[in-house]
């Protein structure tokens, strides 16, 4: 295997066709690995990223896989630690890599060899792969190749300690061909009646308006939505709220500029009282729910349910095949679906000095080509 290290956007831009071809072939592809999202994200995070681009041989034209990574400094006692992590972290709900499935075994071994070389070169303190979307076996194979007697891999939990929400659980809906079929096959009779009644109440009223933000109103509507969101979560997020709000706004506006943001809105007498931020992946025909905000002082019951029902119906009518609630097993999501996927997270770090040696898998030979990632 031959690995090229891509360091800048000009170099990466020449690989757009290859990236899209691998993305289309990998059944585990997702929005946060799409060309549209990833290239805009890399532009925002500056020079701390690298792409490991894998070929079978140096002279081949076609690429087999792309792994986006970044370097982060983790402040820890007694000293700071340099961490290699996946490039989408911490903004993306999902991380991972794209790979032509028939070459997966050899690719994982080659990527692990490249990461080991980088780990040794820069004095890396740990490798973190968090919110990895796709088959668990893919991540386990990569982690197994990265582990040695001196380095151990361990899976870790994504359960939020303050509210018990498991952020490794990702509810989603496989969308049928019509809204009527969805109501008959995907939800309970009680939910079906509630959604039907709620949409009829809103859409039959002159007081309320369901719709979508336009290019001219999207930034103002996002700011209003974030104000509602901030009021709900301020006590829990504390000092981090300002940074989180700004990060979310940049992410959503970047997607809006790229044509992959949809902002369904609920207004009362033309005043915004609720909105959802949805990402659109037209290649995989997926709609991904990113964020919501609503005016808790509004007297309409269940505006969030109404907005999701409106959005699911819109997705079906526009040919999408998946509505993804992304991370978190909040109970309201399961009013809409019983389907779920699971993310996995692994941390590779030095083994304790007194740890027993682990049985060592045979390491793959170092990948051919340039491995100096720093």
CATH code where residue 234 lies: 3.40.630.30
DSSP string, 75-94: P-SSS-EEEEEETTTTT-S-
Q: Say yes or no: 182 and 159 in one domain.
A: no
- The mean pLDDT of 141-151, rounded to a whole number, is 88
Of the candidates 128, 166, 293, 274, which has an alpha carbon nearest to the alpha carbon of residue 226? Answer: 293
In a domain, 168, yes or no: no
Q: Is there a contact between 233 and 291 (Cβ–Cβ < 8 Å)?
A: no
Q: What is the pLDDT of residue 319?
A: 97
* Helix (H), strand (E) at residue 293: strand 286-294
In a domain, 251, yes or no: yes
Q: Tokens 């020449």 map to which residue?
A: 14
Q: Say yes or no: 144 and 200 in one domain.
A: no
pLDDT higher than 60, residue 181: yes
- The mean pLDDT of 37-43, rounded to a whole number, is 93
How far is it, in rounded angstroms, from Cα 87 to Cα 40? Answer: 12
- pLDDT digit string, tens, across residues 309-360: 999 999 999 999 999 999 999 999 999 999 999 999 999 988 876 544 333 3
Q: Domain containing 281: what range?
A: 176-320
* Ranges of H-type helices in the chain: 9-13, 16-25, 35-45, 104-122, 136-146, 179-185, 189-203, 218-237, 241-257, 303-317
pLDDT higher than 80, residue 248: yes
Q: What is the pLDDT of residue 369?
A: 36
Q: Say yes or no: 120 and 151 in one domain.
A: yes
In a domain, 144, yes or no: yes
- pLDDT digit string, tens, across residues 101-131: 999 999 999 999 999 988 888 888 899 999 9
Of the candidates 98, 95, 75, which has an alpha carbon nearest to the alpha carbon of residue 85? Answer: 95
Q: What is the pLDDT of residue 354?
A: 52
Backbone angles phi, psi at 229, to 5 degrees: -60, -40
pLDDT higher than 90, residue 156: no
> How many Å is the Cα radius of gyration of the chain?
22
Q: Say yes or no: 124 and 232 in one domain.
A: no
pLDDT higher than 90, residue 183: yes
pLDDT higher than 60, residue 163: yes
Q: Tokens 């992304």 map to which residue?
A: 326
Domains held by the chain: number: 2
Greater pLDDT, 354 or 232:
232
In a domain, 307, yes or no: yes
HSE-CB at 201 with a 13 A cutoff on CA atoms is 16
* 50, β-bridge pairs: 69
Of the candidates 80, 95, 87, which has an alpha carbon nearest to the alpha carbon of residue 29? Answer: 95
Q: Say yes or no: 20 and 74 in one domain.
A: yes
Q: Say yes or no: 19 and 145 in one domain.
A: yes
- pLDDT digit string, tens, across residues 206-228: 999 999 999 899 999 999 999 99
How far is it, in rounded angstroms, from Cα 213 to Cα 211? Answer: 7
Three-state SS at 294: strand
pTM above threshold 0.85: yes
In a domain, 334, yes or no: no
Q: Report CA torsion sign: 276, 69, 144, 134.
A: positive
In a domain, 368, yes or no: no
In a domain, 31, yes or no: yes
Q: What is the pLDDT of residue 82?
A: 86
Q: Say yes or no: 92 and 133 in one domain.
A: yes
Three-state SS at 210: strand
Q: Say yes or no: 135 and 158 in one domain.
A: yes
- The mean pLDDT of 160-185, rounded to a whole number, is 92
- pLDDT digit string, tens, across residues 284-302: 999 999 999 999 888 777 8
Q: What is the pLDDT of residue 368?
A: 35
- pLDDT digit string, tens, across residues 73-106: 877 656 677 899 999 998 999 999 999 999 999 9
Q: Say yes or no: 133 and 72 in one domain.
A: yes
Confidence of residue 45 (pLDDT cuts 50, 70, 90): confident
Q: Say yes or no: 91 and 194 in one domain.
A: no
Q: Say yes or no: 14 and 155 in one domain.
A: yes
Q: Say yes or no: 233 and 312 in one domain.
A: yes
In a domain, 169, yes or no: no
Q: What is the pLDDT of residue 76?
A: 66
Backbone angles phi, psi at 190, to 5 degrees: -65, -45
């Amino acid at each position: 295997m031959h690995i090229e290290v891509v360091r800048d956007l000009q170099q990466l831009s020449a690989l757009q066709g290859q990236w899209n071809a691998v993305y289309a072939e990998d059944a585990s592809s997702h929005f946060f690995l799409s060309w549209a999202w990833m290239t805009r994200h890399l532009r925002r995070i500056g020079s701390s990223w690298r792409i490991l681009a894998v070929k079978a041989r140096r002279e081949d034209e076609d690429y087999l896989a792309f792994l986006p990574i970044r370097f982060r400094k983790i402040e820890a006692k007694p000293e700071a630690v340099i961490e290699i992590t996946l490039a989408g972290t911490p903004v993306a709900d999902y991380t991972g890599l794209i790979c032509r499935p028939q070459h997966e075994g050899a690719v994982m071994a080659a990527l692990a060899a490249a990461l080991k070389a980088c780990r040794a070169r820069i004095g890396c303190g740990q490798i973190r792969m968090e919110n990895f979307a796709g088959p668990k076996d893919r991540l386990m194979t990569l982690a197994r190749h990265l582990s040695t007697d001196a380095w151990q891999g361990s899976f870790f939990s994504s359960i939020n300690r303050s509210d018990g929400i498991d952020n490794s659980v990702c509810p989603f809906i496989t969308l049928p061909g019509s809204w009527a079929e969805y109501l008959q096959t995907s939800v309970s009779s009680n939910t079906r009646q509630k959604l039907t009644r709620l949409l009829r109440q809103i859409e039959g009223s002159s007081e309320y308006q369901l719709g979508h933000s336009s290019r001219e109103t999207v930034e103002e509507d996002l700011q209003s939505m974030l104000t509602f969101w901030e009021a709900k979560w301020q006590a829990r997020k504390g000092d981090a709220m300002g940074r989180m709000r700004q990060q979310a706004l940049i992410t959503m506006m970047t997607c809006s500029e790229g044509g992959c943001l949809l902002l369904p809105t609920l207004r009362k007498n033309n005043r915004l009282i609720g909105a959802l931020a949805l990402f659109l992946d037209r290649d995989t025909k997926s709609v991904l729910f990113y964020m919501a905000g609503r005016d808790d002082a509004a007297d309409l019951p269940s505006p969030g349910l109404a907005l999701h029902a409106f959005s699911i119906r819109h997705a079906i009518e526009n040919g999408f095949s998946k509505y993804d609630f992304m991370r978190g097993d909040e109970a309201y999501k399961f009013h809409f679906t019983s389907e779920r996927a699971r993310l996995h997270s692994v941390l590779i770090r030095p083994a304790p000095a007194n740890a027993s040696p682990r049985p060592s898998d045979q390491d793959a030979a170092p990948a051919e080509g340039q491995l100096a990632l720093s």
